[in-house]
Amino acid sequence: MSSHNDQQDIWPEQPPSRKEMSRRQFLTYTLGGATAFMGAGAILPMVRFVVDPILHKKGAGDFIKVAEISKITEEPQEFTFELKQKDGWYDSTATLTAWIRKDAKGDIYALSPICKHLGCTVGWNNDKAHPDEYHCPCHGARYTKLGKNLEVAPKPLDQYKTKFDNGWVLLGDIVPNTVASEEA
């Protein structure tokens, strides 16, 4: 008597050959691929949202057009300019100030107005007792034209990195003063 089992022994179910694909495999791959495609479409914008601010640092290293070279005099002048900053996901604009002048040789440099004592803002020629100096109104720090510290402050005024392009002075990051040491 022939049984179902006998038939299985005679015609055992053959797995699909490597080149063939069962209907179940086809559906699995198709649905899996479609799900992965849709998932990537949803996830990639989120990944970009998280990573983008890290890749784009806040504007450090940028140079900003601040003043026309023809307007720079030996007398320090105050110039203000705006710096667009990106802090993580927060965009802001900071207004910065620089005291810019040229020396007798025509070399141009720009000083930061931030007092090196406790961070108040210095002004030029604003202390009648000490003309032609930077003076800090908070605790009386004094600096020379090149930013050299004379009183109270422990260090010279910082300066901006400077570039020149097409008749303009461009300012970059604030760095330690390199010109004050030229002063006797």
Q: Contact residues for ligand FES (CB under 6 A)?
A: 115, 117-120, 136, 138-141, 152
Report the side by side order of strands in the sheet with 123-124: 123-124, 134-135, 142-143, 149-151
Of 72 and 115, which has the nearer Cβ to ligand FES? 115
Q: Which two tokens stand for residue 166?
A: 């097409």
Q: What is the CA radius of gyration of the chain?
A: 35
Of 115 and 146, which has the nearer Cβ to ligand FES? 115
Of 69 and 174, which has the nearer Cβ to ligand FES? 174
Of 27 and 118, which has the nearer Cβ to ligand FES? 118
Q: Tell me the one-letter amino acid at 76.
A: P
Distance of closest approach, residue 114 Cβ to ligand FES, in angstroms: 9
* Nearest-angstrom CA–CA distance, 79 and 170: 12
Distance of closest approach, residue 139 Cβ to ligand FES, in angstroms: 3
Distance of closest approach, residue 142 Cβ to ligand FES, in angstroms: 9
Of 64 and 115, which has the nearer Cβ to ligand FES? 115
Distance of closest approach, residue 112 Cβ to ligand FES, in angstroms: 13
* 98-103, long-range: CB < 8 A, 24+ apart: 98/66, 98/160, 98/171, 99/124, 99/134, 100/66, 100/67, 100/72, 100/76, 100/169, 101/72, 101/73, 101/74, 101/75, 101/76, 101/77, 101/145, 102/72, 102/73, 102/74, 103/74, 103/146
Of 120 and 150, which has the nearer Cβ to ligand FES? 120
